[in-house]
Amino acid sequence: VCARLVHPLLVAPLIRTRRCILTKPCRSARLLPMLTLQAIEEKLRARGWDPEPAEAEGTLHATHPTAEGSFPFYFRLSEDWLILSIVPFMRVDGRPSLELSRWLLRVNRDRHMAKFAYDEDGDIVLTAELPTASLSDEEIGLALDELLTMAREQKKMLRGD
């Protein structure tokens, strides 16, 4: 088995302890480059976005226009996670109704990547959390597409369109 078929961070300890089916790492096995904020910015620009540094360290901001309105996106990079969020998705001033909370839970149940949550102000955010250990451009694209699709669909639904 080639070591490149297994996540690099899992391969090294297994080879050292000999509890691995790998006899040796293959020549093409390498650690994935560390994801940087600059790399995320480049990936977003390649997709037609115009990100800018946000006030918070390690965070980019971009506004994405759609037929349903513009959505304020934030991209926060930590050591292990890339968090993509629409903040706020909907302002409720910390007073969401029970019906709205139930609706959010029902929508979350049917989604795999993007989820609704409440922020510290009590407003609704739409977010996706991606582990950076082996994050690909395709996964970032899928997360962006799901966030945008979900945001457009749910805005229409909330307006009764």
pLDDT per residue over 95-127, tens digit each?
A: 888 998 999 999 999 988 999 999 998 899 999
Indicate whether 15 pLDDT > 50. no
* Residue 49: C-alpha distances to residues 40, 64, 136, 141, 144 (Å): 11, 7, 18, 12, 11
**Size (the chain), residues:** 161
> Within 10 A of 150 (CB to CB), how many other CB atoms are there?
21
Cα–Cα distance for residue pair 46/41, rounded to 1 Å: 9
The percent of residues above 70 in pLDDT, for the chain, comes to 78
Work out the average pLDDT over 65-83.
92
Highest mean pLDDT among 10-14, 29-33, 84-88: 84-88
